[in-house]
Chain A
Amino acid sequence: DQQVKQNSPSLSVQEGRISILNCDYTNSMFDYFLWYKKYPAEGPTFLISISSIKDKNEDGRFTVFLNKSAKHLSLHIVPSQPGDSAVYFCAAKVYNNNDMRFGAGTRLTVKP
């Protein structure tokens, strides 16, 4: 039962353009959402998060949008850079519950 889904296994964009990575979830109890970035042979690193009381959170080139009614969140990277090429994982959890659920990841390739 995959409660967090990233339906696009891969995404390719041109340098300087916007990258949009999508994530859907099924558990309406989730109230905290995170994005992690992972390079090959390394562990994931935290990128940005959003609480369910917000619908947008911005950090530099990265913005996460949350649509609770659609149970959907997205990560926007503007402008995209070649160094952003990595696998991006969406994750979700319930406050006061340690069980964080991850999506399967989306491999982003930013072409120079």
Chain B
Amino acid sequence: NAGVTQTPKFQVLKTGQSMTLQCAQDMNHEYMSWYRQDPGMGLRLIHYSVGAGITDQGEVPNGYNVSRSTTEDFPLRLLSAAPSQTSVYFCASSSNPGQGAFSYPTDTQYFGPGTRLTVL
């Protein structure tokens, strides 16, 4: 059981470049999410997904796209990187006990090790 894996661990981009941060989990979790962590700001939710084919925006979605074609994978795309997107990015997953209307993730939200992104 690898848990939540993220690639790459480190990335340097130039302004305007695009890239995809990869996230995968092998726990068959329905709920997956992306956060960014900035100094003095804690973690902020970018996008989340409650299952394959279903995504929604979090607190800071601008400049990022997501899709969820499989249960396992939840990539985060930066279409045109900006220096303000320099951050550490965490992917997380958890099981979703809700039926019908989504409740909320269980306590055990598993986080990946993070991707440190620098945009010059």
Contact = CB atoms under 8 A, between A and B. Distances in A.
Interface of A is mostly: loop
A100 interface: yes
Interface in B27-51: 31, 33, 35, 40-45, 48, 50
Contacts of A100: 45, 105
Contact of A41 (B4, B92, B101, B113): B113
Interface in A26-60: 32, 34, 41-46, 49
A96 B42 contact: no
Interface string B90-102: 1010000000011
Contacts of A91: 43
A63 to B, nearest CB: 16
Contact of A93 (B31, B35, B101, B104): B104
Q: Report the contact-size class of chain A (Cβ under 8 Å from the partner).
A: 20 to 34
- 9 closest pairs, A vs B, by CB? A43-B111, A102-B42, A102-B43, A104-B42, A49-B107, A44-B111, A103-B42, A104-B40, A43-B112
Nearest to A95: B104
A96 B102 contact: yes
Interface of A: 2, 4, 6, 32, 34, 41-46, 49, 89, 91, 93, 95-105
B25 to A, nearest CB: 12
B56 A98 contact: yes
Given A98-B33, A104-B42, A105-B42, 4 more contacts: A44-B43, A96-B104, A98-B105, A101-B45
Contacts, number: 64
Given A43-B111, A44-B111, A46-B109, A98 B42 contact: no
A46 B50 CA distance: 19
Given A41-B113, A46-B109, A95 B43 contact: no
Given A43-B112, A98-B48, A34 B107 contact: yes
Contacts of A44: 43, 90, 111
Contact of A95 (B40, B103, B112): B103
